[in-house]
Amino acid sequence: MIATLLLALQAAAPAPADSVPAADSLPRVTLEDAIRRSAQLDPDYVQALGDIDNAEWGRRAAVLAFFVPSLSLGLDETKYSTEFFNPADPANPTSTLVVGSARAEYEVFSLRKLSELGRTRAEVASAEAGELEQRFLAALEAESSYYDVLVNQELVRVAQERVNRAREGLGVARARVASGAAVQTDSLQLVLEVTRSGLEVLRQENALRTAQLELGRRVGAAGAVDAVPLDTTPVPDLPIGLPEALSAALDQGPQYRAARADERAADAALKSQRSDYFPSLGIGALHQRYDTEIFPSAANVTSVTFSLSFPIWNNGQREIEMSRARVARDVARTIREDLERVVRRDVSSAFDTYQTSRAAVTLAGVGVQVGRENYRMQEMRYRAGASTILDLLDAQVNLAQAEADLVGARYETRLALARLEAILGRRLFSNKDAP
């Protein structure tokens, strides 16, 4: 009966999918390469780079407005139904008139130009902070995908070792049943364990293939990509303390820098709207040429205009824009103040998670040692008939769980470090492959 069940288990085990290549045939990437390549392909990071370019052009335009007038060229050809006065030749009326013009305008005095300069500078600072934030967020996503591959690699190994232990135990149980030292249910219990552990192997292999495909997507590959294993030595303590981390987050953290820059930009936009209550002084020059054919040259005239504009009332549009700008400034200020209040929570949580994960690795390592020794003793006791099959099964399951806990704790520490670095906006260790 036991042999029949084993044959049924072997027949029911699905074969690996042909479309999924073997692990040793997959392209492999290091963690640093994965982070570098994923940033270039992340849509949010590409958008952040575009925001910097847009903000830089806005700043250039605001600076050039102080030195370069606006320039325009025009050429118009008009056909009239009847002949009329010809500016190019007053003695000969014409029904066709071609006018070429060149216009230059410059604001000699305008408070809006000054406020626009401050606003565009703040927008550049906000865009740069946003780029830094998206770069670290893209790195965090890449590290998460990378660690997911490594975690599932090790969990496949853990599940396979569980299968091997179950098969070894089944061999011992069958021998004891054959000798009359144990009942047949001992073998049946281990057949059930072989079934469960085999199913766990299939699940972990499927999770590994999915993680490899996700890593491939992150790095721009057409298919699955494998991760180069990292150093498994215990990670060191953080090079900074909690007070220094809090100070660094407020001063250099990309999220908080962006919030301060957004507030400055909103405040500058409000000042720009207020400038509409003040007069502006401008000068303009216009040169026109007239003729009856393209590229007119028969007659020309040049004019210079000095203008003083003092807005009084434009049906409330100015006041509406002022109200919108004030609300935007107040919202930006509230966001900045809220972020400054929660910085202690965010940094403390990430800091404590790293320290807790480091301790969890140590404790999980002890758990694995205890689990292995307990399994060894229970196997010896079962062989000697001093313990039951349930004790052996519990030892097998507990050892597999302890090994899985160690795998999870080890990579949770690295992921906690990546989250803290994303908050601080800087690397705490120079080598990401072995912090």
Question: In this structure, is residue 344 part of a structural domain?
Answer: yes
Residue 229: count of CB within 10 angstroms of its CB: 12
Q: Which domain holds residue 413?
A: 21-71+109-279+316-424
Question: In this structure, is residue 400 part of a structural domain?
Answer: yes
* Distance of alpha carbon 226 from alpha carbon 190, whole angstroms: 34
pLDDT at 433: 58
* Distance of alpha carbon 253 from alpha carbon 413, whole angstroms: 21
Question: In this structure, is residue 284 part of a structural domain?
Answer: no
Cα–Cα distances in angstroms (integers) from residue 9 to residues 157, 184, 195, in the given order: 20, 18, 7
Question: In this structure, is residue 43 part of a structural domain?
Answer: yes
CA dihedral sign of residues 247, 252, 256, 261: positive
Backbone angles phi, psi at 90, to 5 degrees: -55, -25
Angle, nearest 10°, between helix axes 389-424 and 242-252?
50
CA 177 to chain centre: 58
Q: Residue 288, SS3? A: strand
Q: What is the pLDDT along the chain (435 residues), one digit of tens a residue?
A: 555 554 555 444 444 444 445 556 889 999 889 999 988 889 999 999 999 999 999 999 999 988 889 999 999 988 888 887 777 777 788 888 889 999 999 988 888 888 888 888 888 988 988 898 899 889 889 999 999 999 999 999 999 998 998 888 888 888 877 777 777 787 788 888 888 888 999 999 999 999 999 999 999 988 999 999 988 777 888 888 989 988 888 888 888 888 888 898 888 888 888 888 888 889 999 999 888 888 787 788 899 999 988 888 888 888 898 899 999 999 999 999 998 888 888 899 989 999 999 899 999 999 999 999 998 898 888 888 888 888 888 888 899 999 999 999 989 988 888 888 888 888 888 766 555
Q: Where are the beta strands (DSSP E) in 201-263?
A: 226-227
Question: In this structure, is residue 14 part of a structural domain?
Answer: no
Q: What is the pTM of this model?
A: 0.78
Cα–Cα distances in angstroms (integers) from residue 267 to residues 53, 263, 270, 319, in the given order: 22, 6, 5, 16
Return the H-helix or E-strand segment holding 287. strand 280-291
pLDDT at 14: 46
Question: In this structure, is residue 85 part of a structural domain?
Answer: no
Backbone angles phi, psi at 66, to 5 degrees: -80, -15
Cα–Cα distances in angstroms (integers) from residue 2 to residues 133, 178, 332, 384, 405, in the given order: 60, 11, 71, 22, 33
Q: Residue 99, SS3? A: strand
Of 361, 370, 366, whose CA–CA distance to 407 is shortest?
361
CA dihedral sign of residues 46, 48, 51, 53: negative
* Distance of alpha carbon 154 from alpha carbon 205, whole angstroms: 10
Question: In this structure, is residue 399 part of a structural domain?
Answer: yes
| Tally of domains in the chain | 1
**Residue 322: CATH number of its domain:** 1.20.1600.10
The Cβ-side half-sphere exposure at 117, using a 13 Å CA radius, reads 9
3-state helix, strand, coil in the chain (%, to 5): 65, 15, 20
Question: In this structure, is residue 173 part of a structural domain?
Answer: yes
Cα–Cα distances in angstroms (integers) from residue 28 to residues 17, 152, 183, in the given order: 20, 15, 50
* Distance of alpha carbon 374 from alpha carbon 366, whole angstroms: 12
* Distance of alpha carbon 174 from alpha carbon 187, whole angstroms: 6
